[in-house]
Chain A
Amino acid sequence: MFRRFHRSIAALGVLLTLWPIPGAATLQEDLAGLGNGSFATRMAAVTRLGASGAGAVVPALQALLDGRLHRRLADDRVVVAEERGSVLILTDPLTGAELAQTTPDAVDKIRINNRLRTLIRATLGGLTLRSPDPAQRLVAAQAVFKGRDFDLEPTLRQVLEREAEPAVKAAMTKALAALRLANPGESAVRVAAATTLATFGGQEVRALLAEVAATNPDGTPREADPEVHRAAVAGLALVEERLRLMNGVGNLFQGLSLGSVLLLAAVGLAITFGVMGVINMAHGELVMLGAYTTFLVQELFRNHFPDAFGWSLALAVPLAFLVSGLFGVAMERGVIRFLYGRPLETLLATWGLSLMLQQLVRSLFGPTNQEVGNPAWMSGAIETAQGLVLTWNRIAIILFALAVIAGLALILRHTPLGLQMRAVTQNRPMAAAMGIRTGWVDALTFGLGSGIAGVAGVALSQIDNVSPNLGQAYIIDSFMVVVFGGVGNLWGTLLGAFSLGIVNKLLEPVAGAVLGKILVLVGIILFIQKRPRGLFALRGRAVEA
């Protein structure tokens, strides 16, 4: 009964909002009306304030709703009072300007009752829905969707007709449909609302439809109207199917993201293994060095150029390439070149190097995780209405990994070094006979592969903990990518990394993260039996090397 009455009041308010916008003087008059003793006068004042459509009245109404609006006893002026210690700070409700300081007994709080409260809420909703700022209108429409306050239905209908911004219009349509479906009304209108809602999809819509489609414990629908119930059930099925699809797309994205991380970690390994037949067990530590370089660069920016922090990664990438690359060349010249033709011994020696690098970093920086930040442009996410969340740092890493591969493919194909590297990979003695200094090519190749490991470290520092154990976490996965994809072939590494990443993430919801990983490992072990040299095997003499 009350509800209907409120609604008529609200409708009145909406009618009044169509009046021309009055000047500030009228606003002050209406505001004074709020201080009047009778509830009826206050309601009329709220209605007129709402009708003004002026954004300035929003804080005043909000203050009234929160019980912060007071009447000054001395001059009956309506003010906002904030307690600060034992005194009250009085401000003007419309301008927010500070008026005076006073004691609590100098003012009288303006009381509201339930009817007034409902009216204020509706008016506030209507006001923000009419705000000239599209972002505010969008927020208001989303608030209406969540609040499902049927009093706002007429207002919403009106503003929807005049709305030009597509995103806001969609949000309003969705909110209107939600209002109509959630409240009693004409069958046809509610059925149409359910259908409209279903086209939007998303978790919120799913919850709303599920509410209407719910059944009692005895199996009978809780919703009295069978037509509406049926529409809700159909809509729910549609929304859930789309949610599942989105979930799948989300998993795929996760897989691509993991795949790009694996790709970055493994591609340097693939190069060194492909050209020299050397398994570099210290590869993970070169990745770690890249991550620590990022940390140092960011510290530099934090302490000296905090404004340019967004650019820190732009400096970290080439520096990490240099640091890890130089370490790589030093390793090759200092240790690995004495062990050519003895791949197993190389494996052991590089493992020794990896232990020493880990301990070196632990001694220098301590065993704990280091704080590496995301630049502002990499934080946040794209969220679609369907509930799909794509974080920017993951997207950036996918793109970065692809860029690194593209750059590498260019180097291998179109530079003299690339030509020599390919020649040495395919037939070392013949390349040497043609005058290629294979020793130099080895050193540069190792440097290139190591440098890319460093670059991978920059990317990993954005999504993982930077600690001395960073490299260990990736080394086995990188090996898996290399043996799965086959060596000496960028495509093999690319395909291997992405397929392992995606399979891993698709298995995760089914089997759980750990079991999924175990299954992938077992799968690779079996795969190697079938194709001992990976997806893309090198043919020719290199095979028996």
Chain B
Amino acid sequence: MTTRHHLPGFLTGDRGGLVLLTLVLGAALLVPAGNLLLAESHPLHVPTYLVGLLGKYLAFALLALAVDLIWGFAGILSLGHGAFFALGGYAMGMYLMRQIGARGVYGHPVLPDFMVFLDWQQLPWYWYGFDLFPVALLMVFLVPGALALVFGWFAFRSRVSGVYLSIITQAMTYALLLAFFRNDMGFGGNNGLTDFKDLLGFDLQADATRAALFSATALALAGGYLLCRFITASKLGRVLRAIRDAESRTRFLGYRVEHYKLFVFVVSAMLAGLAGALYVPQVGIINPGEFSPANSIEIIIWVAVGGRGTLFGAVLGALLVNYGKTWFTGALPEAWLYLLGGLFIGVTLFLPRGVVGLLVGRRRDLEGSP
């Protein structure tokens, strides 16, 4: 255990986190290598579709991390986090749309196909600048962050909490769902944004680009984990936990509860936006369905299955549930909703600390037994 002395303080004792970081960083190297360097006949070859699938899972894992940060540590159950994810995705989608240029079906040099189809003459003002990657990247953070700031500022200042907050976050994502379905909004309406060609000049269909996107997602997940761990292990993190467990008491002790909550809410929304931005180029489409309230609730179950309030549990849960979803919707599509529903019930009734609680609890039982 000599490594402990070389670790930053906030990682000390976080054995689960260290395992996770090792695995994720290892995957960031090995999966692309397995895809690009090994021949297709090689037993360890990673097919391209799998790279995309794993990349999607990792983007979801980052999203789950964002939700765990607010739900697990500050007690804010957001049923609208899919909205921040989708907004980040749309920001990235807009950049990818602008990159298509004149290669669209209608061949217009500036306007995306759906605008030409709607007979629009010029680009709406909010599409300006999205042809530049740095601007788009900034917007990936800024748009979800700004929405979270405004929404959170109103909500936390008025001490809207508990189920009320859950319900209005759900209303928020529902309102956005309806809004993005409208063609007049200028985001492609029902069909959303799709038919992307390339990212930073690299062909999105190329194996190398997909491998690079996977690595970028894995690095973002590792970075996101470090950030969340840093926040939660700090003094601020302890205040957040105090708020989660006894909000009124923390307020009476003189802490400005709403500021703490707002900070962590905005950070979480930005992480969700980043997850969305990484998700979109890998799946090749973003449409208003991402805003649906059901999607947002599903994120919660990833966190709950993995183990709320542990960070690495959220990542584990996202990977487990999404793998299960891929497998079941392929093999037994009828059974998937029963299983997902059963997961919600079973985890809340029998596994309040998730899979991680199960593992840690058993070890503790072993270690703690006299």
Contact = CB atoms under 8 A, between A and B. Distances in A.
Interface string B336-347: 011011111101
Given A345-B352, A479-B171, A532 B345 contact: no
B344 A349 contact: yes
B175 A359 contact: no
Interface string A509-545: 0000011011001101110111011000000000010
A349 B349 contact: yes
Given A348-B304, A352-B345, A529 B352 contact: no
B182 A355 contact: no
Nearest to A277: B163
Given A348-B348, A359-B338, A479 B154 contact: no
Contacts of B172: 521, 525
A interface, size bucket: 35 or more
A363 interface: yes
Contact of B300 (A338, A348, A359): A348
Nearest to B297: A351
Interface in A483-527: 483, 514-515, 517-518, 521-522, 524-526
Nearest to A525: B168
A349 B300 CA distance: 11
Interface in A39-82: none
B168 A528 contact: yes
Q: Which of B171, B294, B342, B343 has the most CB of A within 10 A?
A: B171
B53 interface: no
Nearest to A344: B77
A348 B171 contact: no
Nearest to A516: B178
B155 A529 contact: yes
A476 interface: yes
A181 interface: no
A344 B341 contact: no
B171 A521 contact: yes
Contact of A514 (B182, B337, B343): B182
A101 to B, nearest CB: 62
Interface residues of B, number: 43
B238 interface: no
Contacts of B349: 335, 338-339, 349
A480 interface: yes
Contacts of B297: 281, 348, 351
B286 interface: no
A347 B163 contact: yes
Given A480-B171, A483-B167, A524-B171, A352 B178 contact: no
Contact of A349 (B154, B178, B181, B345): B345
Nearest to A343: B163
A347 B301 CA distance: 11
A479 B160 contact: no
Give the 7 A-B residue pairs with the shortest CB-CB distance, closest first. Answer: A352-B344, A355-B341, A356-B341, A359-B337, A521-B175, A352-B341, A529-B158
Interface of A: 273, 277, 279, 281, 335, 338-339, 342-349, 351-356, 358-360, 362-363, 472, 476, 479-480, 483, 514-515, 517-518, 521-522, 524-526, 528-530, 532-533, 544
9 contacts: A344-B166, A349-B348, A351-B341, A351-B344, A352-B340, A354-B341, A359-B337, A476-B174, A530-B158
Given A346-B348, A355-B337, A521-B171, 5 more contacts: A279-B166, A335-B345, A476-B170, A479-B171, A544-B248
